[in-house]
Each structure stands twice: as C-alpha cells, then as structure tokens.
C-alpha cells in the first residue's frame, strides 16, 4: 500500500476531476476574456472569499509570504520595529517579517495546541518599555486556531497590531467566528497543498478596515492609484485571473473538504487513543480544519521508518525551529517547549482524498508499532 504524501491536499487528479467541468469552464472564461491580471475573476474571488470568512475586505496577492509582508507594511511595520511570533512555524513567517525591515522576536508555544502561548507573550511584554515592539503574528498552525481572544486582549493593552498567519487555517473558527477576521489583518496562502489551494502560488490579505485594504491594494502594484504613478513604494504581487477563477470553484468545495478532514481526524483520535502517542488536542471553543494531523512521540524516527516501510509517507512540519536555523540562529534563546515539539512531531496523512479504509490501515500499522515499544 502506498498512500499519498501528507503534504498533498489530495490526489491532484482526483481533486480536479471532481470539479473538472467547472474548472475547465472557468479557464475558458478567462482565456476568452483576454484579461489575465487583476480582472473580474480576481474581483469576484476577493468578494466571495471575504464573504465566506465574514471579513469586510479581501485583497489578493501573489503568495502567502507576500500577504504577510504587505499586511505588516499596511499597519505601519518598518525597519527597526520588532514583531512577536513563534519559532515552530514555516520560515516564511519570519522571512515576511524581515522583508519589512523588522526583527522577528520569538516566544514560546502552548504544548497542547502548539500555537502561541498567550502567557509567554504577556511575559515577553511585561515591564518592557521598548517602543520597537509594534505587532504580533499568531500562527494558526496545522489548522488549529491560536488563542486569539487572549492574544488580542494582550496586544491591545500594549498597543500592538495583530496580523494573523492563516496559511494553514482556511475556514477554522473560534466560538463560531472564523480566523482571518479577528486581528487588524490576516494573511492567507493558496499554495496547492493548502485546504484551499490554487494550481500555483497565490495569497490574500483580509481585514475589516477599509484603510488597510486600500493600502494593501496600493502596495501590491507599485503603489499605483493612477497607473504608472507610484504614491508610495510598492512591489509586484498580483494574483492572476486563472488562479482566481480556479479558486472560486474550489472555495465552493472548501467546507465539504474541511468536514471530511474532521471526520478523518476523529477516526485517528478514536483508533489511536491509549497508545504511547501524544495526540492533538482541540482547545475549547475552537473548530480546527486539520490541515495536518500531528502526533508526537520521542520515538519519532522509529515510527516514521516503520510507516515508510509499509508505504505510508509521513512528514515533519517543521523539524528545526526558526531560532536554530542558520539564517536566524540565536543561541541565547531557549524555547524548550518549542524545541521538544519539533523533535517529537510527525504528520500523518490527512486529506479529503483518503477513505476510511486508508486511515484504518495506517492506524493498524501504528498500533503494531506501539505494541512493540515495550
């Protein structure tokens, strides 16, 4: 048995065959229009994605890293500022912060959810008179929301902007309110492996503030309000019409895909209960979308090798925390909870293309491994 890699949202052929007619029609519509950049498909997707989330505005950009960078720039982050985030995220989060000229300041995570620990955020800011702290970037890692009610309260007390990193959390919610609508702005990625993925790169910034949305629109295209006249320094970060048209089709399928992920996660949780694995937890009031199903064990390599031997591919997202990577190394920073999580975590296959028999088979192999652990 060879199962799809966990980084895939599904077997791409199956995913696109399921809506092949709609996608082909969308592509024809774009090709026949002759309008390929920032046209009616982009405008329609921006409206539809904002409405899906419950946000006032969505502004599409070229990719998720640009989305985070431009959201930060829109709230005023600049060279010399300090932005607080976590170290167990993709390097893209830190890279986007540093592209603004700011410095990423890393804090500890909650061991249960592996998202930002509000207590660590409060501790980092407590008593600080450093005026360079300007923003917080909580990451909704693996599709589980960070504790935004507490993080927002702390940020507001310290007059910090909040930019949500929603790259893995399309459709996740807290107390019924979707992520991407809590902070001053939020950044989404539409990389093909995401719950809502294009067939190339893509991203979006969402916000409830018209001023911020307009600023991102300027920044994504050279600062132009009038063509060829830059009001402010910007860049080229535009979603093309083909990707927008395909995303419109796939947006209509997002909730069904997320529900399937939830069902598969429930199956894993039931079958693997009582093993030596630390299983993922869902915080009260949260509805994750299970971008990844992440288990933890000190014997990670043993489990990974055994699963690989029977054709089950796994992944480690992410093996090296940011502060231990060569580009961002800080030997003075100690984040023991983060570092332990990165040593222990293993992503099992989860995507709408799996059926119940696949998950049963994976679980049976894990149960056999568990029985041999003594």
Separation of alpha carbons 247 and 61, rounded Å: 13
Model confidence band, residue 10 (pLDDT cutoffs 50, 70, 90) = very low
Determine the pLDDT at residue 6.
38
Model confidence band, residue 236 (pLDDT cutoffs 50, 70, 90) = very high
Separation of alpha carbons 316 and 345, rounded Å: 6
Model confidence band, residue 17 (pLDDT cutoffs 50, 70, 90) = low
Residue ranges with strand state E in 131-257:
133-136, 161-165, 173-174, 177-178, 185-189, 203-207, 224-226, 229-230
**Domains of the chain in sequence order:** 12-251 (3.40.640.10), 254-371 (3.90.1150.10)
Residue 11: pLDDT above 50? no
Residue 3: pLDDT above 60? no
Pairing mode, if any, of strands 203-207 and 185-189? antiparallel
Phi and psi for 240 in degrees, rounded to 5? -85, 165
pTM: 0.95
Predicted confidence (pLDDT) per residue in 105-120, tens digit: 999 999 999 999 999 9
Predicted confidence (pLDDT) per residue in 303-341, tens digit: 999 999 999 999 999 999 999 999 999 999 999 999 999
Pairing mode, if any, of strands 293-296 and 286-287? unpaired
Predicted confidence (pLDDT) per residue in 114-164, tens digit: 999 999 999 999 988 899 999 999 999 999 999 999 999 999 999 999 999
Tokens of 295: 């288990």
Residue 15: pLDDT above 90? no
């Amino acid at each position: 048995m060879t199962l799809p890699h966990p980084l895939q949202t599904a077997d791409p052929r199956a995913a696109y065959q399921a809506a092949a007619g709609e996608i082909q029609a969308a592509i024809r519509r774009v090709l026949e229009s002759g309008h390929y950049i920032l046209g009616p498909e982009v405008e329609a997707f921006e409206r539809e994605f904002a409405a899906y989330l419950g946000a006032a505005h969505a502004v599409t950009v070229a990719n998720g890293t640009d989305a985070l960078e431009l959201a930060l720039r829109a709230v005023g982050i600049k060279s010399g500022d300090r932005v607080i985030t976590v170290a167990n995220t993709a390097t893209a989060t830190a890279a986007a912060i540093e592209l603004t000229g700011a410095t990423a300041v890393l804090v500890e995570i909650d061991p249960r959810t592996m998202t930002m620990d509000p207590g660590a955020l409060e501790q980092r800011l407590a008593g600080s008179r450093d005026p360079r702290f300007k923003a917080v970037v909580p990451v909704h890692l693996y599709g589980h929301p960070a504790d935004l009610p507490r993080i927002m309260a702390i940020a507001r007390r310290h007059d910090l902007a909040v930019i949500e990193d929603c790259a893995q959390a399309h459709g996740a919610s807290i107390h019924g309110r979707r992520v991407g609508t809590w902070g001053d702005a939020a950044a989404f990625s539409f990389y093909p492996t995401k719950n809502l993925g294009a067939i190339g790169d893509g991203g979006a910034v969402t916000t409830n503030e018209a001023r911020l949305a307009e600023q991102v629109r300027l920044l994504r295209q050279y600062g132009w309000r009038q063509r060829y006249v830059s009001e402010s320094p910007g860049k080229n970060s535009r979603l093309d019409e083909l990707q927008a048209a395909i995303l419109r089709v796939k947006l209509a399928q997002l909730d069904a895909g997320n529900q399937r992920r939830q069902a598969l996660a429930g199956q894993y949780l039931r079958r693997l209960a009582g093993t030596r694995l630390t299983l993922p937890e869902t915080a009260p009031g949260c509805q994750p979308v299970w971008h990844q199903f992440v288990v933890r064990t000190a014997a990670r390599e043993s489990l990974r090798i055994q699963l690989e031997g029977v054709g089950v591919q796994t992944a480690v997202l992410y093996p090296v925390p940011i502060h231990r990577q060569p580009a961002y190394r800080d030997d003075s920073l100690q984040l023991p909870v983060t570092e332990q999580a990165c040593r222990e975590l293993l992503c099992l296959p989860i995507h709408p293309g799996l059926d119940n028999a696949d998950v049963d088979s994976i679980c049976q192999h894990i149960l056999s491994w568990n029985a041999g652990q003594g």
